[in-house]
A and B are shown apart, each in its own frame.
Chain A
Amino acid sequence: MSQLTLKRRRESTQKLNLFAVVPNLLCELPSDEIEQLLVRADDVLTPLGEHFEVVDGAREQLVIEGELENCEAIGGGMRSGVLKVHGSVGNHLASSMRGGTLYVDGSAKKFACSNLLAGAVEVSQNVGDYAAGAVEPNSKGMRGGTFVVRGNAGRWLATRMRRGTVVVCGDVKEAAFTRMLAGTVVVCGAAKMPLATAMKRGTILLLGESNADMKACVPGFTAAETVELSFLPILIRQLQQYLPVEILPSSARVQRSIGDRADGGQGELIWCSTDQATPPHIATS
């Protein structure tokens, strides 16, 4: 696919805000205007061309590459199009993103997808703390879209998350799902306590075998019971886009806890059941 490429000119400790450096804006502009686009570097407005070399091509997708760990809010202003980032990025990845597809070949620091509204984001390595969670001035976290983390997630994942789907292929650290409002999070690795404190609603699917020890002791949650959840095959079909079939539940029969009951919550923690006596078959697409 042909692309417009922005190559970071040099390493710098300056914090660059790249909120507006998105395909739906740049792909319409000629190269010289792209270079003149103003971005904040440590709160000073400077031309984008000072920081990035613009390598023009047909504008089907935008690529940003180089030393980007001090670049913040990448993808934040996206409404449509495809943005690929080669390199690890700074804070606030995809904040306020409203559409399109964003792929990061690297890690992301804190607050990734904290205010994601729509679209699809994938990070090939790890994300830091507060991913998909609420960040001032917003009272709610991620509000839509799909966010896939191929590595691990830091602390406070999905705090006050409101909607959307998060998939973490690795582990998550402490305090995940605190005050979660709704949405779906899938954790393939290990989760750590405390977990889902004051969770209101939403669905957490815990696929990691090591999580089985937690079933009886998540504070505020009912003891895990075996149930058949008819919506699970629909969710699994969606997850097949991101995860190998082998690690997904093969049955709608799972173990589930409800909570946080201390807050009147009806969130659900779902553990894949080892009770697979006569599971209904889920046809894979």
Chain B
Amino acid sequence: MEINKVRIEDTFAEAFPMTATRLIITAADRFWAQRAAESMTGFATSVIGCGCEAGIEREVAPRESPDGRPGISVLIFSVSGKQLEKQVVTRVGQCVLTCPSTSVFAGMRGEKKVALGSHLRFFGDGFQISKVIDDRRYWRVPVMDGEFVCEESTSRCKAVGGGNFLVLSESLTGALKSCEAAMQAMRQIPNVIMPFPGGVARSGSKVGSKYKSLSASTNDAFCPTLRPVTNSLLPDGVTAALEVVIDGVDEADVSRAMRVGIHAACESGYRHGLRAITGGNYGGKLGPFHFHLHEILG
């Protein structure tokens, strides 16, 4: 299969079950909502070292947001409900509560709850006020700029983490251009985030390492400088590979994001040196979700 002369490998991306929640952060204006969201989703590229994977999903217009102010929707993914809750409370407490003019609300409804205001309310030192409005409980925590409003809890759902595709290019510049085009298109897709910096990972990994203390190590099959000394999966002429990693609320969301991203990358990618798109997997033995590239794009 080819798209605009870019070869699409007949392979699949392997992804894993995760649990996810969504928060809506509002503020006096878009600038401050963005600052809080960026801070809160920082250092959240991989559950391996960061505890969660998080990112900005989209902007929320004032008319859509719970308090009529500009907002940002963020998604947070983790391996367990307990870990997710810990990350949510810590990040909101350190990065949203601290940011001027913000409030934070549940972005997801369901039976499985994730604590939010029920934990953060104690910062009010007894001066906090609970308010139930339309069957939802909010906590009003007095702070120096007025009050921080935080919904009591949000909910979580089963999710999918680690959907991906790799762009293989004749140059780093070309690979970057392809990924930037992919990201611009993928950011319009709801229910997904691309947690790595700019949405793109340059240090794709494989399971295992020669060092006993490491569970993952560089994906040598896609390292261009190791082509002569390893079982390389890089086509001739390719000198750079980048990986776009996607976490989504469900399989359909991940699949859609992959399709949109690959098409966007291929649209003008060949001109910039893009030669192939492939998928990262572990032989299909680890993750239950398999995203076959030809099926997604077919």
Contact = CB atoms under 8 A, between A and B. Distances in A.
Contacts of B138: 231, 234
B140 interface: yes
Contacts of A233: 67-69
A284 B69 CA distance: 10
A234 B148 contact: no
Interface in B95-132: 103, 127, 129-132
A192 B28 CA distance: 36
A229 B131 contact: no
Interface in A213-238: 227-231, 233-235, 237-238
A284 B65 CA distance: 11
Nearest to B66: A234
B103 A230 contact: yes
A283 B63 contact: yes
B114 to A, nearest CB: 20
Interface in B243-285: none
- In this complex, the member of B67, B130, B138, B146 whose beta carbon has the largest number of chain A beta carbons within 10 angstroms is B67
B149 A230 contact: yes
Interface residues of B, number: 21
B134 interface: yes
Range, interface on chain A:
20 to 34
Contacts of B68: 233, 237, 281-285
B133 interface: yes
Interface in A234-285: 234-235, 237-238, 266, 268, 280-285
B63 A231 contact: no
Given A282-B68, A284-B68, A285-B63, A231 B132 contact: no
A229 B147 contact: yes
B67 to A, nearest CB: 4
B127 A234 contact: no
B287 interface: no
Given A282-B68, A284-B68, A228 B132 contact: no
Contacts of A235: 131, 133
Contacts of B62: 283
A231 B140 contact: yes
Interface in B128-183: 129-134, 138, 140, 146-149
B28 A165 contact: no
Nearest to A183: B132
B149 A231 contact: yes
Nearest to A146: B134
Interface in A184-231: 184, 201, 203, 227-231
B286 to A, nearest CB: 44
A98 interface: no
A204 to B, nearest CB: 13
Given A163-B132, A284-B68, A230 B140 contact: yes
A234 B134 CA distance: 10
Interface in B27-86: 28, 62-63, 66-69
B72 to A, nearest CB: 16
Interface string A44-82: 000000000000000000000000000000000000000
A199 B32 CA distance: 37
A277 to B, nearest CB: 15
A237 B105 CA distance: 15
Given A229-B147, A266-B127, A284-B68, A238 B133 contact: yes
Interface string B1-28: 0000000000000000000000000001
Interface string B208-221: 00000000000000
A184 B136 CA distance: 13
Contacts of A102: none
Contacts of B146: 227-230
A282 B62 CA distance: 9
Contacts of B140: 229-231
Given A280-B28, A283-B68, A266 B63 contact: no
A283 to B, nearest CB: 4
Contacts of B134: 238
A257 to B, nearest CB: 14
Given A144-B132, A283-B62, A283-B63, 7 more contacts: A230-B103, A231-B133, A233-B69, A234-B66, A238-B134, A266-B129, A280-B69
Interface of A: 144, 163-165, 182-184, 201, 203, 227-231, 233-235, 237-238, 266, 268, 280-285
5 contacts: A183-B132, A230-B148, A230-B149, A231-B131, A284-B68
Interface of B: 28, 62-63, 66-69, 103, 127, 129-134, 138, 140, 146-149
